[in-house]
């Protein structure tokens, strides 16, 4: 077969692997000389204020592995640092490319950037190919019979499953990659972390090791546990979920490999896990079709919520010092490891919004700063779900009781004691509500409430009533506003 283009460039972004990489495979088929690049985009990384940001370490490690894989096949990965649109234009001119290949992205910033790159290269007569890679179903592939995007999960899921059944999900991971067209134009150095403005070392060990090889071994490890996923996934102390979210975020693993694992058997575990992958696609679709959700409530009516936004409460939540052990354990897990178990993401998010009456956007931003797996679509979807402002969200009158959630999902307090070490001697009877201990108990269990561990910042049942009122008032206000708008 004659290749269509002489020089082509593959731009790696959130697809940091060679296995089943759509843009790379297509470029190798269509280009005589295939160059590869990755840009540390200053438009994004300038907002990362922590010099030990875990994501940068993860990306850096993954890019280093990708570079060595590409080099081992006779090519080179050009790694640059600057504004992505400018860097890609410069490289395209320098390497005299005819076509650019990359995996498409669905976040508002990325779409704008990719449009800019596409326009500037097209003007120069170069072809640009944007390929679907990071999701199973993208953009308009799953739409309601009326041709509108779904805003409720179950019908979306049913339509998604129907669509998947009628499609072949290509298993390009099995294809033997023909590397002979990889181009080499001299060695290119990898910038160091300090070159990028970050510290060389993390504080402590990363929760997830970077790179494609680590992603493959984590996937293999989870494949031995997936049968039990349904029964065990809600218990943070078991750590029995896949822990693949960071790999998915940066594409060190292929979503199609995950889909194949999820559909390889029909145990309850496999089905439940497939559901989660569909939630992921669903939130991508919501963000793509309703980009206003990044600043506003999906259900506009809840833009009327009057949060009190008490800074002291917010600080207590961020630092894991609310006096509610399960909330504090979740927040400390996040602060210490860059990860939080899904059950605790729901509990801590609900607590911030409905017990502390802090705007969900504050919590969303905090998670965005701290989570290594931060993904705009899933994070925004999760926060709006917990705040009852989102599509198909938790109803506003359902308010998690933190002590009951704690008893149900961490009955013996194993997880709590791992992160809230002040409570390590407190027995099961008090572990979910330590403020119920009398002074004698507190002394006996080496935990003075108010000194070693805080009193609860708020009273859950009082805040529950107050939040129900806050939501009721928002709904009433919207009805009044609607009336005024009509007149």
Ligand X SMILES: Cc1cc2nc3c(=O)[nH]c(=O)nc-3n(C[C@H](O)[C@H](O)[C@H](O)COP(=O)(O)OP(=O)(O)OC[C@H]3O[C@@H](n4cnc5c(N)ncnc54)[C@H](O)[C@@H]3O)c2cc1C
Among 56, 349, 431, 457, binds ligand X (CB under 6 A): 349
The structure tokens listed for 38 are 């990755």
Residue closer to ligand X (CB basis): 209 or 245: 245
**Contact between 379 and ligand X (CB under 6 A)?**
yes
Looking at the Cβ atoms of 279 and 396, the one nearer to ligand X is: 279
Select from 233, 270, 299, 417 the one that contacts ligand X (CB under 6 A).
Answer: 233
For the bound state, the minimum distance from the C-beta of residue 229 to ligand X, rounded and expressed in Å, comes to: 7
Q: Does 317 bind ligand X (CB under 6 A)?
A: no
By C-beta, is 99 or 135 nearer to ligand X? 135
The nearest distance, CB 137 to ligand X, in angstroms, is 14
Least separation in angstroms between CB 289 and ligand X: 16
Q: How far is the CB of 424 from ligand X (least distance, A)?
A: 25
Residue closer to ligand X, measured from CB, 105 or 422: 105
Q: CA-to-CA distance for 462 and 33, rounded, in angstroms?
A: 67
Instruction: Write the interaction track for ligand X spanning residues 104-143; mark x where CB under 6 A is met and - where it is not.
Output: ----------------------------------------
Assess contact for 334 and 371: CB atoms under 8 A.
yes
The single residue among 76, 355, 375, 410 that binds ligand X, judged by CB under 6 A, is 375
346 scored as a contact of ligand X (CB under 6 A): yes
Reported as half-sphere exposure (CB side, CA atoms, 13 A), residue 111 has a value of: 9
For residue 253, the minimal CB distance to ligand X (Å) is 9
Nearest to ligand X of 400, 445 (CB atom) = 400
Q: Which of 9, 24, 248, 334 is in the footprint of ligand X by CB under 6 A? A: 248
Instruction: Out of 383, 396, 415, 445, name the contact with ligand X by CB under 6 A.
Output: 383
Query: According to CB under 6 A, which residues from 425 to 464 bind ligand X?
Result: none
Stretch that binds ligand X, among 162-170, 192-200, 235-243, 323-331 (CB under 6 A): 235-243
Nearest approach, Cβ of residue 180 and ligand X (Å): 35
**Per rule CB under 6 A, is residue 279 in the interface with ligand X?**
yes
| The 3-state secondary structure of the chain, one letter per residue | CCCCEEEEEEEECCCCCCCCCHHHHHHHHHEEEEEEEEEEEHHHHCCCCCCCCHHHHHHHHHHHHHHHHHHHCCCCEEEEEECHHHHHHHHHHHCCCCEEEEECCCCHHHHHHHHHHHHHHHHCCCEEEEECCCCCCCCCCCECCCCCECCCHHHHHHHHHHHHHCCCCCCHHHCCCCHHHECCCCCCCCCCCHHHCCCCCCCCCCCCCCCHHHHHHHHHHHHCCHHHHHHHCCCCCCCCCCCCHHHHHHCCCCHHHHHHHHCCCCCHHHHHHHHHHHHHHHHHHHHHHCHHHHCCCCCHHHHHCCCCCCHHHHHHHHHCCCCCHHHHHHHHHHHHHCCCCHHHHHHHHHHHHHHCCCCHHHHHHHHHHHCCCCCHHHHHHHHHHHCCCCCCCCCCCCCCCHHHHHHHHCCCCHHHHHHCHHHCCCCHHHHCCHHHCCHHHHHHCCCCECCCECCCCCCHHHHHHHHHHHHHHHHHHHHHHHHHHHC
Q: Which is nearer to ligand X, 27 or 208 (CB)?
A: 208
Binding mask 280-299 for ligand X (x = CB under 6 A): x--x----------------
Residue 367 within binding range of ligand X, rule CB under 6 A: yes
* Count of chain residues binding ligand X (CB under 6 A): 28
Q: Which stretch binds ligand X (CB under 6 A): 24-32, 153-161, 242-250, 427-435?
A: 242-250
- State which of residues 63, 89, 378, 399 lies at the interface with ligand X (CB under 6 A): 378
- Closer residue to ligand X, CB minimum distance, 241 or 389: 241
Q: Please, which of residues 249-278 interact with ligand X by CB under 6 A? A: 249, 276-277
- Closest CB to ligand X: residue number: 382
Please give the Cα distance from 214 to 19 (Å, whole number). 13
Q: How far is CA 90 from CA 98, 317, 353, in A?
A: 13, 45, 46
Strand order in the sheet with 77-82: 77-82, 31-41, 5-12, 99-103, 127-131
How far does CA 412 lie from the centroid of its chain?
A: 29
CB of 276 to ligand X, least distance (A): 4
The least distance separating ligand X from the CB of residue 58, rounded to whole angstroms, comes to 13
Chain residues binding ligand X by CB under 6 A are 233, 241-245, 248-249, 276-277, 279-280, 283, 342, 345-346, 349, 367, 371, 373-375, 378-379, 381-383, 386
């Amino acid at each position: 077969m004659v290749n269509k283009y002489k020089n082509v460039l593959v731009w790696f972004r959130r697809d940091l692997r060679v296995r089943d990489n759509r843009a790379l495979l297509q470029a190798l088929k269509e280009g005589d000389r295939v160059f590869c690049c990755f840009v540390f985009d200053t438009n994004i990384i300038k907002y990362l204020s922590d010099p030990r940001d875990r994501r940068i370490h993860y990306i850096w490690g993954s890019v280093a592995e990708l570079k060595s894989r590409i080099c081992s096949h006779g090519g080179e990965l050009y790694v640059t640092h600057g504004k992505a649109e400018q860097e890609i234009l410069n490289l395209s001119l320098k390497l005299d490319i005819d076509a650019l290949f990359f995996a498409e992205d669905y976040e508002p910033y990325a779409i704008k950037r990719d449009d800019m790159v596409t326009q500037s290269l097209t003007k120069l007569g170069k072809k640009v190919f944007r390929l679907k890679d990071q999701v199973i179903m993208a953009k308009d592939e799953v739409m309601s019979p009326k041709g509108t995007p779904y805003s409720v999960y179950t019908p979306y899921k049913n339509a998604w499953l129907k669509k998947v059944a009628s499609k072949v999900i290509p298993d390009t991971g099995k294809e033997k990659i023909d590397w002979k067209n990889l181009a080499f134009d001299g060695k290119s150095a990898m910038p160091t972390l300090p070159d990028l403005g970050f510290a060389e070392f993390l504080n402590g060990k990363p929760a997830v090791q970077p790179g494609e090889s680590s992603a493959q071994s984590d996937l293999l490890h989870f494949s031995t546990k997936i049968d039990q996923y349904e029964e065990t996934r809600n218990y943070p102390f078991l750590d029995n979920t896949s822990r693949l979210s960071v790999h998915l975020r940066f594409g060190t693993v292929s979503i199609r490999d995950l889909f194949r694992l999820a559909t390889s058997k029909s145990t309850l575990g496999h089905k439940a896990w497939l559901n989660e992958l569909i939630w992921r696609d669903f939130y991508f679709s919501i963000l793509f079709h309703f980009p206003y959700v990044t600043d506003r409530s999906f259900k506009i009516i809840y833009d009327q919520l009057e949060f009190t936004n008490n800074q002291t409460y917010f600080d207590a939540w961020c630092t894991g010092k609310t006096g509610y052990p399960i909330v504090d354990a979740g927040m400390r897990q996040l602060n210490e490891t860059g990860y939080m178990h899904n059950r605790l993401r729901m509990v801590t998010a609900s607590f911030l919004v409905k017990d502390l009456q802090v705007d969900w956007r504050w919590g969303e931003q905090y998670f965005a700063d701290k989570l290594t797996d931060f993904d705009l679509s899933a994070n925004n979807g999760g926060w709006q779900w917990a705040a009852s402002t989102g599509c198909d969200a938790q109803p506003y009158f359902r308010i998690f009781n933190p002590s009951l959630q704690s008893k149900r999902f961490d009955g013996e307090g194993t997880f709590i004691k791992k992160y809230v070490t002040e409570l390590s001697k407190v027995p099961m009877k008090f572990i979910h509500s330590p403020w119920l201990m009398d002074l004698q108990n507190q002394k006996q269990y080496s935990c003075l409430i108010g000194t070693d561990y805080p009193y609860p910042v708020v009273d859950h049942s009082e805040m529950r009533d107050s939040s129900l009122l806050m939501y009721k008032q928002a709904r009433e206000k919207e009805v009044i506003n609607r009336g005024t708008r009509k007149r």
